[in-house]
Chains A and B, each alone.
Chain A
């Protein structure tokens, strides 16, 4: 049974560019949450998607947006990248809207130069 899969694993972008990260949830899960983890820090909540809508949002600017598809997979989009967006982006899926039973993917390492 596949867990949470994220793509790509690594990515290098230039300041001002836009990036799209992808996540496929664990089989049977319908809720996807995204987290940003800066080097040496704990993950920070970006937002959560359920039934193709953003349900919760952390303290992140509108440059961060997302989407959830009917098959429950999700995308995270970041516009106008700046150096401070360099981080590990983690996707977590669960079977309900809460954090219970969260399964994390291995993340996408984004480097902005």
Chain B
């Protein structure tokens, strides 16, 4: 079946390093993608989004890259901080059935 998936369930990085979280999607008709951060006991928090007519979008310390050729999405976090520890989800909008989320990547920050 079609689904949004993540390559790695856990990513461990040193504080201050850059983090890259990857996501593969399978529906070429998806037109909108979002990255969410979810901390324990909280709901998903919007980080950054990108529409399918773009390849790259930058926010504060975060960058999302979209490669439609290989159906790949990535989230780059610059200078990772302890507060970045969380589970990160990518989600795609396929139109009529809300957002489809991947299973998530747990980002662990090592001091």
Contact = CB atoms under 8 A, between A and B. Distances in A.
Chain A: interface size category: 20 to 34
B16 interface: no
B43 A106 contact: yes
Interface stretch (A14-22, A63-71, A79-87, A96-104): A96-104
A52 to B, nearest CB: 18
B103 A90 contact: no
B98 A42 contact: no
Contacts of B4: 42
Interface in A58-80: 58
A4 B45 CA distance: 12
Interface residues of B, number: 23
Interface in A21-58: 33, 35, 40-45, 47-48, 56-58
Given A98-B93, A105-B43, A106-B41, A33 B98 contact: yes
B2 interface: no
Nearest to B51: A100
Contacts of B45: 104
B103 A100 contact: no
Interface of B: 4, 32, 34, 36, 41-46, 49, 89, 91, 93, 96-104
Interface of A: 4, 33, 35, 40-45, 47-48, 56-58, 90, 92, 98-100, 102-107
